[in-house]
Amino acid sequence: MKEETVIKVEGLTKVFGDFIAVNNINFHVRKGEIFGFLGANGAGKTTAMKMLIGISAPSSGSANVAGFDVYTQTESIKKSIGYMSQKFALYDDLTVKENIRFFGGIYGLSKNNISLKSNLLIEELGLEKVVHSLVGSLPLGWKQKIAFSVSLLHDPKIVFLDEPTGGVDPITRRQFWEMIYKAANNGTTIFVTTHYMDEAEYCDRVSIMVDGTIEALDTPKNLKAHFGSDSMNDVFLKLART
């Protein structure tokens, strides 16, 4: 069985002035994989992610995302991916329904398709009672679950999640991860950053960035074995505390 590669990164580098934010990183991500992208604050994760989603041009190296080149085909990349972060997810002063309609429209879905998907999403998340509530009035955990579903509206090949569960309560955090598993099981590739090290264990493979370079990349199991640690937290501390 040939495994389809949906993200191919080779020698990717980003320089700001004399500061090398991302230094020659290399990795491949397979279709349907949950890929954890870890690193300390300031290690270069966000910069790397910005290049992959087509909003920041690399200084050198190459990357192909969902079959498109990060230098020349950024608009095609944007149509093929979903994105959500802790800071940006949905518009607080639009209702749940309005947000769905807005993002559906942005992603170029037809009116019929938006209403179909919108009903499906509302039913799946049990949102019947809050469809006409402003998103700003909902608990953070709900917002994040809705935002994740919205990022999947246009059936993207890859979803980028930048610390999607920060501050979310432990039960909702797990429900969120069940949604991630489900999407991955349906063939969507998940690229996720997190500061919760137990969540790193939920990933198929994990990369750990330190000062702009990828210092480790493997399954959580292999990483723990390699570093003689019993948790990903311990692996992270060993690698990142220099």
Partner 1 sequence: MSIRIDHISKSYGKVNALDDISIQVHQGELFGLIGPDGAGKTTLFRILTTLLLPDQGSASVAGYDIIADFKAIRKQVGYMPGRFSLYQDLTVEENLRFFATIFGTTIAENYDLIRDIYVQIEPFKNRRAGKLSGGMKQKLALSCALIHKPKVLFLDEPTTGVDPVSRKEFWEMLKRLQDKGITILVSTPYMDEAALCDRIALIQDGRILEIDTPKAIVEHYPKPIFDVGAHNTYLLIEKLNAYAHKHSVFPFGEYIHYTDQRDGFDPLELRAYLKKEGLQNIHIERTKATIEDTFMELAKQ
Binding span for partner 1 by CB under 8 A among 2-10, 61-69, 152-160, 166-174: 166-174
Is residue 67 a contact residue for partner 1 (CB under 8 A)? no
Q: Which of 40, 125, 131, 134 is in the footprint of partner 1 by CB under 8 A?
A: 40
Is residue 177 a contact residue for partner 1 (CB under 8 A)? yes
**Separation CA 30–CA 187 (nearest Å):** 10
**Separation CA 162–CA 159 (nearest Å):** 10
DSSP string covering 106-129: HTT--HHHHHHHHHHHHHHTT-GG
Task: Kindly tell me which of 63 and 146 has the beta carbon lying closer to partner 1.
Answer: 146
Is residue 225 a contact residue for partner 1 (CB under 8 A)? no
**Separation CA 135–CA 149 (nearest Å):** 14
Q: How far is the CB of 144 from partner 1 (least distance, A)?
A: 10
Q: Which of 16, 185, 187, 225 is in the footprint of partner 1 by CB under 8 A?
A: 185
Angle at CA of residue 211, ends 210 and 212, nearest 5°: 95
Amino acid identity at 146: I
Name residue 109's beta-bridge partners: none
Q: How far is the CB of 31 from partner 1 (least distance, A)?
A: 16
Range 197-216, binding partner 1 (CB under 8 A)? 197-198, 201-202
Amino acid identity at 221: K
Q: How far is the CB of 211 from partner 1 (least distance, A)?
A: 12
Name residue 7's beta-bridge partners: 29, 65
Q: How far is CA 97 from the centre of its chain?
A: 23
Binding span for partner 1 by CB under 8 A among 57-65, 116-124, 148-156, 169-177: 169-177
Is residue 226 a contact residue for partner 1 (CB under 8 A)? no
Q: Which of 66, 135, 184, 214 is in the footprint of partner 1 by CB under 8 A?
A: 184
Angle at CA of residue 181, ends 156 and 153, nearest 5°: 30
Cα 48 to Cα 24, 57, 195, 208, 240, distances in angstroms? 10, 10, 17, 12, 18
Each residue 113-142 as x (binds partner 1 by CB under 8 A) or -, in order, gives: --------------------------xxx-
Which spans of this chain sit near partner 1 (rule: CB under 8 A)?
39-43, 86, 139-141, 163, 166-172, 174, 177-178, 181-182, 184-185, 195-198, 201-202, 220-221, 231-233, 236-237, 240-241
